[in-house]
Amino acid sequence: MRRWSISVLFTVLALSGTAVSAQDKTKIKVGVSVGNSEQTFEVVKRVAARDGLDIQIITFSDYLQPNEALAAGDLDANAFQHKPFLDSQIKTRGYKLVPVGLTITAPLGIYSKKYKSIDQLPQGASIGIQNDPSNGNRALLLLQKAGLIKLKPGVGENGTNATPLDVIENPKKLKLVELDAAQLPRSLDDLAAASINNDYAFKAGLSLQRDTIAVEDAKGRYANLIVTRVEDKDKPWAKKLVKAYQSDEVRKFIEAEFKGSLVPAF
């Protein structure tokens, strides 16, 4: 009986040690987009290291792989997307992912190399927009805000993503060209203008202040997030990650480096 009790005791201790070890993870992999997110996370990494958390930054060049990698367990967290995009991915792909903290707002812009204002766009101009549901919706809302189109009532703002089929007024008969978000900067020479996400614009050398003819409000529903798997949302390392990102050091870096093209959302 005594021998059996000792065996059980060692088993319990071993399992307890495993649980503590899993919760006290000190090395994590975080997926981010190339460009300004990558730059910012270099600062986050330094801050987190002082709290005993070692971050390996994994960069991605599109918006689909980071969630796939996180759901598959190849990442511990990612930080590249706003909530409407995350909600859309969860709905269509069944991911068990959850936001754990806010990062930045990256205002979407309508960029043009040929025109300096919305009013200069000619009849029948080709305008590039993102082909994914949430960012395509975002682009259409910005075009509507700029007075270029009008959408059906009840789409766009209330959780139902608008598509080009929902455009009911288009006075200039603009041609809406749907492309992958990563292709839009490369296609800008062939278009009158294009809706381009901030990180891709930054990578392509485009300036929100210099090259846009319409810009989203700086703060709103498109604040970006740190995301983990549901089972990891309360882990100590997840809290340390959020704490590091939302530090004064990271805030000051964002404000000094990006000068309003990115805005802290925390």
Along the 266 residues of the chain, how does pLDDT read in single tens digits?
Answer: 444 444 443 444 444 444 444 457 999 999 999 989 999 999 999 999 999 999 999 999 999 999 999 999 999 999 999 998 999 899 999 999 999 999 999 889 999 999 999 999 999 999 999 999 889 999 999 999 999 999 999 898 766 899 999 999 999 999 999 999 999 999 999 999 999 998 899 889 999 889 999 999 866 788 999 999 999 999 999 999 999 999 999 999 999 998 888 889 99
Same domain, 162 and 183: yes
Residue 17 belongs to a domain: no
Same domain, 103 and 117: no
Same domain, 97 and 177: no
> Collapsing DSSP states into helix, strand and coil, what is residue 150?
strand
Residue 71 belongs to a domain: yes
Distance in angstroms between the alpha carbons of the first and the last residue of the chain? 58
Residue 95 belongs to a domain: yes
pLDDT at 9: 39
pLDDT at 159: 62
> In 22-152, which ranges are E strands?
27-33, 54-60, 77-82, 97-105, 109-111, 126-130, 150-151
Domain that holds residue 49: 25-107+221-264
Q: How many CB atoms lie within 10 A of CB 89?
A: 23
Same domain, 56 and 148: no
Same domain, 166 and 242: no
Residues sharing a CB contact under 8 Å with residue 151, sequence separation 6 or more, in sequence order: 140, 141, 144, 162, 166, 167, 168
CATH number at residue 154: 3.40.190.10
The pTM for the full model equals 0.72
Smallest Cα–Cα separation from 195: which of 217, 168, 177, 221?
177
Residue 176 belongs to a domain: yes
Same domain, 227 and 99: yes
pLDDT at 203: 86
Same domain, 187 and 235: no
Residue-wise pLDDT tens digits, 31-48: 999 989 999 999 999 999
Cα–Cα dist 139/163, whole Å = 10
Residue 130 belongs to a domain: yes
Cβ atoms of 67 and 78 within 8 Å: the answer is yes
Residue 5 belongs to a domain: no
Residue 225 belongs to a domain: yes
Same domain, 249 and 210: no
Residue-wise pLDDT tens digits, 145-177: 999 999 999 898 766 899 999 999 999 999 999
Longest dimension (CA), the chain: 89
pLDDT at 130: 97
If one counts the domains in the chain, the total is 2
Residue 68 belongs to a domain: yes
